[in-house]
C-alpha cells in the first residue's frame, strides 16, 4: 500500500491542492494527515472538503485541538 503523508496544512488551500494533485499522480492508495489543518478558521471548511474528497484519514494536531473542546467565538465564525 502506498501512503501519501501530509502535515501542518494550516488551511493552505493552494499548497494542499498541489500536494493532493502530486499524490494522485503518484497513485497513492491512502492520504494520511498528521495534524494541524487549522490556522485561523477562515478556510478550514475548504481544507476539510479537499481532504474529504481525497478520502484522507488522520489525527488531530495541537492547532486542531481547540476545535474539540470549547472553541473560541472567533473560531466559530
The whole-model pTM stands at 0.84
Structural domains of the chain, count: 1
Residue 58: Cβ within 10 Å count: 17
Say what the pLDDT of residue 60 is. Answer: 86
Show the domain range for 28.
Answer: 3-76
At 56, which CATH number?
3.60.21.10
Residue with cell 478556510: 43
pLDDT in tens, the chain (77 residues): 999 999 999 999 999 999 999 999 999 999 999 999 998 888 989 999 999 999 999 998 887 876 666 666 665 55
pLDDT tens digits for 54-71?
A: 999 999 888 787 666 666
Beta pairing, strands 3-6 & 30-33: parallel
Amino acid at each position: 500500500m502506498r501512503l501519501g503523508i501530509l502535515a501542518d496544512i494550516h488551511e493552505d488551500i493552494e499548497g494542499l491542492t498541489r500536494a493532493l494533485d502530486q499524490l494522485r499522480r503518484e497513485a497513492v492508495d491512502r492520504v494520511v494527515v498528521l495534524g494541524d489543518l487549522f490556522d485561523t478558521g477562515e478556510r478550514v471548511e475548504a481544507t476539510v472538503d479537499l481532504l474529504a474528497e481525497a478520502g484522507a484519514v488522520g489525527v488531530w494536531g495541537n492547532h486542531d485541538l481547540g476545535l474539540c473542546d470549547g472553541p473560541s467565538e472567533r473560531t466559530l465564525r
